[in-house]
Homo-oligomer: A and B are copies of this chain.
Amino acid sequence: MASTITKVPLPQVVLSEGFWASRQQLMTDVTIPYMERILRDEVPGAAKSHAIENFRMAAGEQQGEFYGMVFQDSDVAKWLEAAAYSLCIHPDEALAARVRDIVALIGRAQQPDGYLDTYFTVRHVIPRWTNLLECHELYCAGHLIEAAVALHEAAGMDELLHIVLRLVDHIDARFGEGGVEGIPGHQEIELALLRLYRVTGDPRHRDLALRFLNLRGQDPEFFKKHTPKETLGLAFGDYGIDPEDNVYNQSDVPVREQQKPRGHAVRQVYMLAAMADAAATTGDAELAEACRRMFDAITQRQMYVTGNIGSTVHLEAFTDDYHLPGDTAYGETCASVAMAFFASSLLTLEPRAVYGDILELELYNGALAGMQLDGTRFFYVNPLEVHPRISGRLATHKHVLPVRPKWHACACCPPNLARLITSLGGYLYTEDERTLYAHLFIGSQAKTRHADVSLSTSMPWTGGAAFTMTAVHTPGFTFAVRIPGYARNVRFSVNGEALSPDIRSGYAYITRSWQAGDTVSVDFDMPARRLHADPRVRDAAGRVALARGPIVYCLESEDNGEELSCLRLPRDAEIRVPAHDPALLGGVTVLEADGLRLQPAPALYSEDAPAQTPVTLRAIPYYAWSNRSAGEMTVWIQEA
């Protein structure tokens, strides 16, 4: 049976105050205009984009050569999606006009048969649709579909939807039921088609998504058999993909039989998000079970404490259970964005607080760390440990940059983060016939099926939130609030009167005859926590990470002096929570503790334990690292 739970969509949820509202404002005021200038190649010193220019050439309005990755189009698509959300958050006629111009350009780049991919229209090295392994045509189509749905839903602009529907018809004619059997080399279109289906209700859109999912892994040699040798590496140069490596793109095993995360992390998790959406859409219990199994396999065996995933630069991939090296981590920003999608999709299958916990972990840590506080520089790779003499310098650590670059030759991450942050309203609530589920504590005004809700909170710095029903549409509905895994001493009250709600799978359920003006308060303590990794995590042996509420912390040499490996946190040291510092790093609550600094030893190896001096350890939120100097950073701290 299909899930009856649906998300309360973005346009109905406006972030009104606090941590995320200010970040949305940064997106609308700074990041989205900045990215647009990048895409138009107007930012000096940033890596070249050429993404708009490629569309001009495909439209025949410009001469020249295609430039960029084979999936360069997706940068424009993801920016359009973020711009759609931006227009919803903050109407801006000038931006809307520029969006319309770009959409019109995309329309002119579309081929008469509906085909749309500038790489193949401008270059003629490889025929269309012949190399699904490397060529990202379905991936780019997926992002265009998502952008079209976003513009339709969030900005009321349907021009791209019309373009995309012709593109989807073209794809469906080729790959749909009765067409050739094909699967994308990079999963993405599956989740996009399911989004499109929720807008169009056209079963062809759903069925094409299911067909891509269901065909995957049926023939483990699909890419080996169907990728013409003479096309290999042409679209991708140095990044050419091995057609024999069916683990890389998870095409070795049918999706329902996958047991643990393997291969390219973003491919894996985009696919899982699509699987969760498909399970919710169709009620496919086996698919739902595969999603639960994979969620546990990732979050319980292959996820960094910051929520980042992908333990190796080699193929940007998962490695093996408990292998989570900090200084060579990959932890791609996109992979954390994908985990947020996956967790959010799982919440439409069933309300389980662990999904909300991971969604929140990604938002505040794994994903958010990908952006500088000023909104104009971005990490692709998110390490847990950085040393400026090693990171970004040694061949084995070249990918681990200690400072966020302005842009990237492969620019998937920045617009991915922008679309996540600008669409955050859509992640707060789900609802079904009887119940409104609140997943995140983010200051906002929401119009839902059962009630209009005003959410007031000072999270993530103080535990708790107040939900005021500003209007009630379904008297007697059930209000369900996620109790975060980190919350202690949780108290509920309605209109100041304490109550003890039913708790199931980490959600507190309150049913009553709601009146406009009723306020549900949930309050909890957020003591600073020491997090111990499972002792099989070799990189964290003897070490702890500090966290408070949803925020994971790190040490920087800026606050703690150089050579962070010399610092020790005694087991019994109290972790203090000083007053919130609005002037530091855009406003943060730091953590402090009495620690020790080991002194350099007289010999490289000696029988004497190093001498120690007392120091105050000071930890800042992980998301805010590398916003001052290019020094050392570590999430894991050695205990003493």
Contacts and interface: CB of A to CB of B under 8 A. Distances in A.
Interface of A: 299-301, 303, 305, 312-315, 319-321, 323, 327-328, 385, 387, 389-390, 393-396, 529-538, 541-543, 545, 563, 565-566, 568, 598-601, 603-610, 638-640
A610 B394 contact: no
A532 B319 contact: no
B535 A319 contact: no
Residue of A390, A529, A600 most packed against chain B (CB within 10 A) = A390
A631 to B, nearest CB: 15
A608 B532 contact: yes
B394 A396 contact: no
Contacts of A315: 395
Given A565-B535, A638-B542, A328 B396 contact: yes
A562 to B, nearest CB: 9
Given A534-B610, A542-B542, 19 more contacts: A299-B604, A305-B605, A312-B396, A319-B390, A319-B394, A320-B390, A323-B390, A385-B538, A529-B607, A532-B609, A533-B601, A534-B603, A534-B604, A535-B563, A535-B600, A536-B565, A537-B604, A541-B542, A542-B639
Given A314-B394, A390-B323, A532-B609, A603 B542 contact: no
A323 B387 CA distance: 10
Nearest to A305: B605
B312 A394 contact: yes
A494 to B, nearest CB: 30
Residue of A537, A541, A545, A638 most packed against chain B (CB within 10 A) = A541
A323 B393 CA distance: 12
27 contacts: A301-B604, A312-B396, A315-B395, A320-B394, A323-B389, A323-B394, A387-B538, A396-B396, A529-B607, A532-B605, A532-B606, A533-B601, A533-B604, A534-B603, A534-B610, A535-B566, A535-B598, A535-B599, A535-B600, A541-B542, A541-B566, A541-B638, A542-B542, A542-B568, A542-B639, A542-B640, A545-B605
Given A598-B535, A610-B532, A396 B638 contact: no
Contacts of A313: 396
Contacts of A604: 299-301, 303, 533-534, 537
How many copies of this chain sit in the oligomeric assembly? 2
A563 B541 CA distance: 11
Nearest to A485: B603
Nearest 10 Cβ contacts at the A-B interface: A314-B395, A535-B598, A542-B542, A535-B566, A538-B565, A534-B601, A542-B638, A531-B605, A541-B565, A300-B604
Contacts of A314: 394-396
A532 B607 CA distance: 6
Given A395-B312, A536-B566, A531 B638 contact: no
A607 B396 contact: no
A32 to B, nearest CB: 34
A546 to B, nearest CB: 11
A320 B314 CA distance: 23
A532 B612 CA distance: 13
Nearest to A298: B604
Contacts of A538: 327, 385, 387, 565
Contacts of A300: 603-604
Contacts of A607: 529-532
Contacts of A609: 532
Contacts of A529: 607
Contacts of A385: 538
Given A390-B320, A529-B607, A605-B545, A600 B534 contact: yes
Contacts of A327: 538
A487 B168 CA distance: 78
Nearest to A530: B607
Contact of A606 (B312, B531, B541, B603): B531
Contacts of A533: 601, 604-605
A543 B638 CA distance: 10
A323 B532 CA distance: 25
B396 A532 contact: no
Contacts of A606: 531-532
Contacts of A543: 542
A414 to B, nearest CB: 26
A408 to B, nearest CB: 22
Contacts of A601: 532-535
A393 to B, nearest CB: 8
Contact of A537 (B389, B545, B565): B565
A437 to B, nearest CB: 23
A75 to B, nearest CB: 27
A525 to B, nearest CB: 13
Nearest to A566: B535
A639 B568 CA distance: 13
A638 B566 CA distance: 15
Contacts of A537: 565, 604
A534 B607 CA distance: 11
Residue of A532, A537, A609 most packed against chain B (CB within 10 A) = A532
A201 B638 CA distance: 58
